[in-house]
Amino acid sequence: MKKILLLSIAAVFFTSGIFAQSGLSFGLRAIPTINWVSVTDGDSMYTYENDGAKMGIGFGPSVRYKFSDNFNVDISGIFTWQKFGIHQTNQMPENSDLVDVTEDFKIQFLQLPLNLNGQFDVAQDIQALINFGVGLGINIADSRRITDNQNPQLYSDEYDSDIDMLTLADFYLTAGAGAVYNIEDNLHLSLTIQYNNGIIDGWLNNKNKAPSTIGDLNIKHKNVAFSLAFYIDL
C-alpha cells in the first residue's frame, strides 16, 4: 500500500508540472463512496441484477490550479476500496434445479479524476461549488466470493483473489456540487457530493481465468462519492 500511495502522489505532482506555479494549491481528499454496478446480461437462461449498494472508501492527494476567481481545475490520485455484488437467478420454471447465486466482488482502484470546478460566493468565506469531469480508474487488485443462496455450504466464505474476471481500467464521467469554506486566505475546506458514471464494460466475459457461475455480462461501475478535501495555496 505504501508503494501505491507514493505512486499516486508522484503521479499528481508530475501532472501538476504542466501548470504554472501561480494559482497552484495542494490538497488531500478523503472520499467515502456508495457503489453499485449496472448489469446487462447476454444469457437468456438467467436473470442478473445488481445486488444492492455497497460502501467504499478512498483517499489521496490532489493538485488544483486556479485560473480565475470563479474557476479552477484539479487532478487527484485517489486510492479506493470498492465493493459490488451480482445476483443471478434462474428464470426457466421448467428447470427443477433452481439457481440463486450471489457473487460479491472487492476491487481496489487507483483513480485519476480531472475536474473543472466553478465556485461562487454565497456568504462571507463560503462559496457554492459545482463541477464536471472525467476520470480513469486502474484496477490494482480484485477478489470474489460466491454464495449459493440455496446451499450456503457449497462455497467457501473466503474471497478468492485469483480470478481475472474484471477489466484493468475503468473510464468514467463525473458531476457534482458542494460548498467551499475559506478557513484562511490560503487554506480551504471543501465538501462535494459527486456522481461517477462508468462508461466502459468492466467484465471480461469468456476471458475469465476462474470458473464463474455467471455468464457473459456487461457491467458498468457507478458510485456516489462524498469528497472532503483540504487545500493550501502554494
Residue type, 7: L
Highest mean pLDDT, choosing among 21-25, 85-89, 134-138: 134-138
| pLDDT tens by residue, 140-169 | 999 999 998 888 888 888 898 877 888 999
What percentage of the chain carries pLDDT values higher than 90? 64
> Across the strands, what pairs with 100?
89
For position 16, what pLDDT does the model report?
46
For position 19, what pLDDT does the model report?
44
User: How many structural domains does the chain have?
Assistant: 1
Q: Which of 166, 60, 71, 187 is nearest to 118 (CA)?
A: 71
Check whether 127 has a pLDDT greater than 80. Answer: yes
| Residue 9 DSSP code | H
State the residue range of the domain holding 73. 2-233
Q: How far apart are CA 36 and CA 49, in angstroms?
A: 10
CB within 8 Å of 59: residues ≥ 6 apart:
28, 29, 30, 31, 78, 79
Query: Per residue in 5-42, is it b (16+ CB within 10 Å) or e — as a string?
Result: eeebeebbeeebeebeeeeebbbebebebebbbebebe
| pLDDT tens by residue, 3-43 | 554 555 555 455 444 444 458 999 999 999 999 999 987 66
* Helix runs in the chain, H state only: 2-16
Check whether 182 has a pLDDT greater than 90. Answer: yes
For position 117, what pLDDT does the model report?
97
Please compute the mean of the pLDDT values over residues 120-144 and round it to a whole number: 96
Check whether 71 has a pLDDT greater than 60. Answer: yes
Q: Compute the residue count for the chain.
A: 234
Between residues 232 and 100, which one has the greater pLDDT? Answer: 232
Between residues 226 and 149, which one has the greater pLDDT? Answer: 226
For position 43, what pLDDT does the model report?
61
Claim: this prediction has a pTM higher than 0.85: no
For position 208, what pLDDT does the model report?
47
Q: How far apart are CA 103 and CA 126, in angstroms?
A: 45
For position 51, what pLDDT does the model report?
94
CATH number, residue 79? 2.40.160.20
Check whether 96 has a pLDDT greater than 80. Answer: no
Check whether 194 has a pLDDT greater than 90. Answer: yes
- The distance between the two most distant Cα atoms of the chain, rounded to a whole number of Å, is 70
Nine-digit cell string for 47 = 436473470
Residue 93's pLDDT band, with cuts at 50, 70 and 90, is low
| Burial of residue 152, with CB atoms counted within 10 A of its CB: 0-12 exposed, 13-18 middle, 19 or more buried | exposed
Check whether 60 has a pLDDT greater than 90. Answer: yes
